[in-house]
Structure 1
Amino acid sequence: MNDGLPPQIPITYEPALIQPPLALRQSSAFSHGDIYIFDIAANSNNLIVSASNHQIKLYNPQTLAIKNVLQFHTDTISQIKPHGEHLVMSSSKDGRVAVWDLRTEGAPVQVFTAPNNNPLLSFDLNLSESILAAGTELVEYDASIHFWDARNPTKLMSTYAESHSDDITNVKFHPTNASRLMTGSVDGLICQFDLTDMDEDEGIMVVSNTGSSINKIGYFGPQSEYIYCLSHMETLSLWNAEDADAIHHFGDIRGVSQSALGLTLDYGIDCQYETESGRLFLLSGSNEGNINILHVNATSLQLCQVLSGGHSEIVRSTCWDSRRGILYSGGEDAKLGLWTANALQETIPLQVASASSRHGSPLQARSEGKSARSTPY
């Protein structure tokens, strides 16, 4: 008998895994009133924030001073991603993926529109920057993955409509294989595809049934050979990407809350793989606004640090450059938090790897030619 309580997940306290520790350096209000922050991303020059009023705001990443406001979407912004130093991409329930050139004012430089303006919940651009994929909400019994030629917003290459039976919450291309795609859904399935010939039946490689509505998925490991999965039921599981076998089910991560360690864990935010150390970290939060950073071992968790004082309500998103010792946070209190390592010098800029640093970007070249706890979805 376990009287209905989740099994206790083994946890230890290992503060040495994050040294020097992070501390709140600055807090800023996104806006006033009943508005909360959905998503946070960053490149070297901008902190990029989306919120429930359909706005995207750009901030100075060191001072949190407002730089610009991007307004285009007419419904919930489901995801934002920087692309290189000058481009930002955003998807929305208005059925569009917008590409913004931050060097220009006004409208996006490209817009990809889903058939029938079906609400888009997730998107990604593959490694070769040739395919844009986006997942939809369930509409009239169909949840689809749309594929566009990234060089031509009017060219819809294919649509997959058979693999998922509910909202597609995650679309992730493999970090090193431009033809490999992973999707996650409220139906509990993680599907992996080979897009060599863009045929859905032939392209589906493996399917993992997590048994829970999927909130966040991502690749990790030296060759991106593993997958983490956070569910809307606040469970965490690890999977083998090649054969879809489960490595470990942690179960309900709220079971790790321990007052003796100052840890209250009410929900998961996301996981992050640190390539330099090979470590996977779980970022989680408490209903009071604390942020917990935990190292994920094969069958246990290690608490590294609890960040407190930056938020008073649920934290929806974080953006963490662990190598540089900088973390941004945003939540339902409409506040932005800037956390830095104690030894961080004020004058050192944020460094974030970008696609454009690897090779020329067709998206960027095109734009340069034009101008010299409810779920967010």
Structure 2
Amino acid sequence: MIEVDIKNIKEEESGSEEDEVTEENGSPGPEIDGIFKSAVYLKTGLAVSLNKEYLLHMAAKFGNTDCNIAVSQSDLLCNVYSVDNHFKTIYTIPKADDTIVNLRFATDNDNLLYTGSADCKIKLWDLRENGKCVSEFTDKSGKKLTSFDVSCNERFICGGTGVLDADSFLLFWDVRSTKLLGGYWDSHSGDVTQVCFHPSVQDTLATGSTDGLINIFDISQPTESEALNQTLNTESSVDKVSWHYIENNQLISCITHTEDLQLWQQDGVSPKRIFTRNELACSLKINEENLYLAGIHHLNDSELMVLAGSVATNKKMKCLRSAIVSCKNLRPLTSYNENQQIVRCSCYNQGTGSLITGGEGGLLNLWVPSQTDEEVHTKLKVTNKIKHKNKPY
């Protein structure tokens, strides 16, 4: 185990660049601190590898006494970490044969982890048996898996695919038998980018696609045409879709590939609210051309939190910030001043207010609410475990 002072990492990465503060600089300043008033500090950081494999997907299981996260890397590896034990590696899942497209813990069992890869293989791992694969769900027709999810009652798995011979597919498996039950292929004309079961209504499924459509299905119905309850047209290309319940409304959030955020009611004919890239950039004090949306999380029972950053090439300008989202407006929340990477995955613990991020720098970071000035200025030690040699794609 190698401990590296975060200050030295910053100096090495910054090279000969001049030390200047701009609105996108991660360094704290009176103007930024005055806008983003919810202070956090970087409690724990892990550099997964100095070769900086991208950290692409993350799943979390928040328990009463501890928290475990599963994280997939661009070199096809997946590790499970103990957050409360300084990101200690608990399990390493055997290397996948293709790009990992999603991770998901079982709803009622912290020891069961689903992983899905682009070769249309979804595997269920039992972490109690040293990461043994106990079930496998496959399709051997040549389709490329792009996303998957598991229903809240753990009965069904749905996987979305890219376009193959002019069709994209939603495939369904029985969790208990692992049998492929069938699929839908008439509802989307582009790559399926997101498959998302409702968190509490077992047969309700939302899917998003590059065709710009969000489709809502009742999968208890016998045919695809009967199952399709609603089609929401974003007039864009859908990147991420999530279910939410805020302000006494059941909402669906959509992050588009043009970095807009849309909020929809399930039966809406138009968005309840659209936050354009320009609006988000103005609220978060990020250059519009550089802004990217990293995710959206439940902040509390009535509000959402959108996470955004900058893709500026200057390594000192990879800021990460958040804003409170309601159906009416955006309100600046937090500036994560020590962030050094483009964030690709994140999990938020609503109970503790802590945020875990991973990204293109190969860094896992745990951000927690600041309690004292001493904590804000605590020197961070980043633990580096050098295990993997492959470079990120």
TM-score class, shorter: 0.7 to 0.9
The residue correspondences of 1:8-23 to structure 2 (distance < 5 A) are: 15=36, 18=38, 21-23=39-41
1:97 lines up with 2:122 in the alignment? yes
Q: Separation in 2 of the partners of 1:66 and 1:92?
A: 22
- Contact 1:22–1:325 (Cα < 8 Å) also in 2: no
Q: Which residue of 2 aligns with 1:306?
A: 335
Structure 2 CA distance, aligned partners of 1:109 and 1:293? 39
SS of 2:272's equivalent in the other structure is strand
Change (3 A) 1:107 1:270: same
Residues 94 and 120, structure 1, Cα contact 8 Å, conserved in 2: yes
Q: Give the match for residue 355 of structure 1.
A: none
Give the AA of the match of 1:124: D
Pick aligned residue for 2:83 from 61, 73, 96? 61
- Aligned to 2:133, the other structure's residue is in SS state coil
User: Relative to structure 1, is the Cα distance of residues 88 and 253 closer, same or farther in structure 2, using a 3 angstrom cutoff?
Assistant: farther
* Deviation at residue 243 of structure 1 after TM alignment: 3.4
Same amino acid, percent of matched pairs: 30
Give the partner amino acid of 1:148: W
Bigger relative contact order, structure 1 or 2 (CA pairs below 8 A, ≥6 apart): 2
Q: Evaluate the alpha carbon distance shift between residue 127 and residue 277 of structure 1 in structure 2; reply closer, same or farther with a 3 A threshold.
A: closer
Change in Cα spacing, 1:33 to 1:192, as seen in structure 2 (3 Å) is same
Which of 333, 339, 357 pairs up with 2:367? 339
Distance 1:337 1:327, change over 3 A: same
Of 125, 143, 148 in structure 2, the residue corresponding to residue 118 of structure 1 is 143
Relative to 1, partners in 2 of residues 1:213 and 1:80: Cα closer, same or farther, differing over 3 Å? same
Deviation at 1:107, TM superposition (A): 4.0
CA distance in structure 2 between the partners assigned to 1:273 and 1:325 by the alignment: 10
What is the CA–CA distance in structure 2 between the aligned matches of 1:23 and 1:320, rounded to whole Å?
15
- Residue 174 (structure 1) shift: 1.2
Counterpart position of 1:291: 320
Cross-structure match for 1:27: 45
1:171 corresponds to 2:195: yes
C-alpha distance in 1, partners of 2:95/2:223?
Answer: 33
Aligned-partner SS, 1:128: coil
The answer for unaligned runs of 5 or more in structure 2 is 1-33, 312-316, 376-391
- In 1, Cα distance between equivalents of 2:131 and 2:295: 32
Q: Classify the secondary structure of the residue corresponding to 1:152.
A: coil
CA shift at 1:310, angstroms? 3.0
Alignment match of 2:153 (pick from 121, 125, 128): 128
Deviation at 1:57, TM superposition (A): 0.9
The answer as to whether partners of 1:250 and 1:299 remain within 8 angstroms in 2 is no
Mapped to 2, the partners of 1:254 and 1:109 lie a distance apart of 47
TM-score normalised per structure 2: 0.77
> Once the two structures are superposed, what CA deviation does each residue of 1:167-200 show, in whole Å capped at 9, x if it has no partner?
1111111122111111001111000011122410
Aligned residue pairs, count: 327
Over residues 40-97 of structure 1, what are the superposed CA-to-partner deviations in whole Å (9 max), with x where a residue is unaligned? 2222442211010010011121211222211242111111111231111111102111
In the aligned structure 2, how far is the partner of 1:295 from the partner of 1:255? 11
The correspondence of residues 1-377 of structure 1 with structure 2, limited to 5 A, is 15=36, 18=38, 21-33=39-51, 35-43=53-61, 44=63, 45-62=67-84, 63-83=86-106, 84-153=109-178, 155-222=179-246, 225-253=250-278, 256-257=281-282, 263=286, 266-274=291-299, 276-287=300-311, 288-311=317-340, 313-343=341-371
CA displacement, residues 109-158 of structure 1 (integer Å, 9 cap, x when unaligned): 111002414221111111221111110111221110001111111x2112
Counterpart AA for 2:251: Y
Q: Which runs of 5+ in 1 are unaligned?
A: 1-12, 347-375
2:3 corresponds in structure 1 to none
115 and 160 in structure 1: CA distance in 2 versus 1, 3 angstrom threshold = farther
Q: Is the 8 A contact 1:315 1:331 kept in 2?
A: yes
d(CA) in 1 for partners of 2:257, 2:74: 20
- 1:158, 1:198 within 8 Å by CA — same for their partners in 2? no
**Cα deviation 1:296-332 (Å, max 9, x = unaligned):** 1324211101102132x31111111132121111110
Aligned-partner Cα distance in 1 for 2:165–2:157: 24
| Amino acid in structure 2 at the alignment position of 1:47 | I
Cα displacement string for residues 209-251 of structure 1 (whole angstroms, at most 9, x for unaligned residues): 1011111111112566211110111111111112343212222
Compute the RMSD of aligned alpha carbons: 2.4
SS in 2 for 1:158: strand
Question: In 1, distance between residues paired with 2:219 and 2:200?
Answer: 14
Counterpart residue type for residue 357 of structure 2: S
